[in-house]
Amino acid sequence: MKSARSLTALVTLGALLGSTAIANAQSLAEIEAAAKKEGMLTTIALPHDWCGYGAVIDGFKKKYPEITVNELNPDAGSADELEAIRANKGNTGPQAPDVIDVGFSFGPQAKTEGLTQPYKVSTWDEIPDEVKDADGHWYGDYYGVLSFMVNKDLVSEIPTDWADLLKSDYAGAVALAGDPRASNQAILGVLAAGMGKGAAAGEASGTAGLDYFAELNKAGNFVPVIGKAGTLAQGATPIVITWDYNALAGRDTLNGNPPVEVVVPKTGVVAGVYVQAISAHAPHPNAAKLWMEYLYSDEGQLGWLKGYCHPARFNAMAAAKKIPAELLEALPPAAAYEAAVFPTLAEQEANKAAVTAGWDKVVGANVQ
C-alpha cells in the first residue's frame, strides 16, 4: 500500500468523503456584525504574488470596507507564523496575527501547542476529510507541486529533473524559496530532492535530501539566498525551487523580462497542502471567522485558482460547474501532475524533523 496519495486521488476523495459540520454558536450575520465592530483583521505571511493573495485580499476589502486588513511580514515562513502567535499572547496590538496560513504539518503542531481555536466554515463538508482537523482547528486551503522556475536568459540548458541541477552547467544558480530550517516550502523542497534520489517520503527523504543539498552546495551550484521572482530576474538565483503556482505567477509578473520556464521535475514530484487556522489569541476573532468564510466561499476559492493554486473545494466546485473554463485552461497540463504524491502528515513530520535538525550540520549553508 502506498504511503502517499496521488493528486488525482486527493481531489477525487474530496467529492466522495463527507463530513458533518457541528453548528457554530454564531450565525454568519452575527459574525459579520461583530467583525465590522472589531474593524480590523491581522494577517501574516501572505505575499501578494503567492496564490493570488493580492487579489484575494482586495476582494475581502471590497466586500467588507469597514474592516482594515493589517498585513504582517509577508515573507515569513510557517515556523515564524507560529512564533508570532507565541510571542503575542495577551497582546491585542497590531503585531498579533488573527489568522495563519501554514504548511500541512504546522497545523497539527499549532493545535497541540494550544495556538489555535476551532471554527468550521459554512462550506466545511466540501473540504476533504484527510486535510482537515475533525474539530475545526485547521483545514486545507490549497495545494500545488514543487517545480523549477528558470531564467531562460541565463540558463541555456533547461533542467528537467533533480539530478540535472548537480551538473556544472548550473554553478551558482540554484536556490530554495525559503530557509529549510523554518520554511515549509523549503523543507518540502528537501523532501522532494530526497525522493528524486529514490528515497521514500519521511525520515529517509529528509536524510537523502540533506545529502543532495550538501552535494549541490559542495559543487558550488547552491545559492544560500531565498529565491523569488525578483532575485531570479536580477540573476542572483537563476533557478528557484518553488511551488508551481508561485513560479507561474512569477512568470506572469515578469512578463518575458526575463523569459521564464516552469518545469515540473520528472521524479520527486511532491505536492503540498497548506492549511488555514485562527489564532487562539486572535485580537479580532470575528474578523478572523469572516475571513475564513470569505476564503472558503466560491469567490475566495476562485481567487486562489486564478493564482494557479488548486483550492480545497476544487473537486466539489468542478462537479457543480462553478469553475470558469478559462481558469481550467490556464492550469498546467494534467500530465505534469501524474507522478505527484502527497506525503502523509507522519511522513512530513519525520522529514521536517530530519531537515531542520540536520541542515546546518550536513549542508552548512546559511539561507537568508
Indicate which CATH number applies to the domain containing 33.
3.40.190.10
Q: Decide if 351 contacts 191 (C-beta within 8 A).
A: yes
Q: Are 182 and 237 within one domain?
A: yes
Q: Are 110 and 225 within one domain?
A: no
Instruction: Return the bridge partners of 117, or none.
Output: 278
Distance between CA 357 and CA 209 in Å, rounded? 13
Q: Are 51 and 97 within one domain?
A: yes
Instruction: Return the bridge partners of 278, or none.
Output: 99, 117
Q: Are 294 and 223 within one domain?
A: no
Domain of residue 184 covers 144-271+339-359
Distance between CA 215 and CA 26 in Å, rounded? 55
Per-residue pLDDT at 9 exceeds 90: no
Q: Are 168 and 50 within one domain?
A: no
Per-residue pLDDT at 12 exceeds 90: no
Q: How many CA within 13 A on the CB side of residue 185?
A: 29
Q: How confident is the model at residue 334 (pLDDT cuts 50, 70, 90)?
A: confident
pLDDT tens track for 270-281: 988 999 999 999
Q: How many CB atoms lie within 10 A of CB 330?
A: 13
Q: For residue 30, is it within any domain?
A: yes
Q: For residue 155, is it within any domain?
A: yes
pLDDT tens track for 254-270: 999 999 999 999 999 99
pTM: 0.79
pLDDT of residue 21: 37
Q: How confident is the model at residue 307 (pLDDT cuts 50, 70, 90)?
A: very high
Distance between CA 114 and CA 125 in Å, rounded? 24
Q: How many CA within 13 A on the CB side of residue 200?
A: 11
Distance between CA 31 and CA 27 in Å, rounded? 6
Average pLDDT over residues 330-338: 78
Q: Are 74 and 197 within one domain?
A: no
How many independent structural domains does the chain possess? 2
Q: Mean pLDDT lowest for which of 136-150, 202-216, 325-339, 354-368? A: 325-339
Q: Are 16 and 131 within one domain?
A: yes
Q: For residue 103, is it within any domain?
A: yes
- Which stretches does DSSP call E strand in 284-323? 310-311
pLDDT of residue 344: 87
Per-residue pLDDT at 348 exceeds 60: yes
Enter the DSSP assignment of 360: I
Cα three-residue angle 67-70-72, rounded to 5 degrees: 160
Q: Are 293 and 319 within one domain?
A: yes
Q: For residue 366, is it within any domain?
A: no
Q: How confident is the model at residue 337 (pLDDT cuts 50, 70, 90)?
A: confident
Q: What is the DSSP string of 23-37?
A: PPSS-HHHHHHHHHH
Q: Mean pLDDT lowest for which of 1-5, 192-196, 210-214? A: 1-5
Q: Are 244 and 349 within one domain?
A: yes
Q: How confident is the model at residue 230 (pLDDT cuts 50, 70, 90)?
A: very high
The grid coordinates listed for 283 are 485580537
Per-residue pLDDT at 23 exceeds 70: no
Q: For residue 162, is it within any domain?
A: yes
The grid coordinates listed for 142 are 490549497
Q: Are 229 and 350 within one domain?
A: yes
pLDDT of residue 24: 63
Q: How many CA within 13 A on the CB side of residue 66?
A: 10
Nearest CA-CA partner of 59 in 48, 72, 75? 48
Per-residue pLDDT at 20 exceeds 50: no
Report the DSSP pairing between strands 68-72 and 260-263: unpaired
Q: Are 48 and 104 within one domain?
A: yes
Mean pLDDT of the chain: 91
How many residues would you count in the chain? 368
Q: Residue 217 belongs to what H/E stretch? A: helix 203-218
3-state class (DSSP) for residue 7: helix
Q: For residue 319, is it within any domain?
A: yes
The grid coordinates listed for 250 are 512569477
Q: For residue 214, is it within any domain?
A: yes
Q: How confident is the model at residue 4 (pLDDT cuts 50, 70, 90)?
A: very low
Most confidently modeled of 15-29, 147-161, 336-350?
147-161
Residue type (1 letter), 152: K
Distance between CA 297 and CA 180 in Å, rounded? 33
- Residue identified by cell 481550467 is 328
Q: For residue 325, is it within any domain?
A: yes
Those residues with Cβ within 8 angstroms of residue 60's Cβ, 6 or more apart along the chain or in another chain: 41, 67, 69, 291, 294, 300
Q: Are 104 and 218 within one domain?
A: no
pLDDT of residue 279: 98
Average pLDDT over residues 162-172: 97
Those residues with Cβ within 8 angstroms of residue 125's Cβ, 6 or more apart along the chain or in another chain: 18, 19, 20, 21
Q: What are phi and psi of 112, to 5 degrees?
A: -60, -35
pLDDT tens track for 32-67: 999 999 999 999 999 998 999 999 999 999 999 999
Q: Decide if 342 contacts 104 (C-beta within 8 A).
A: no
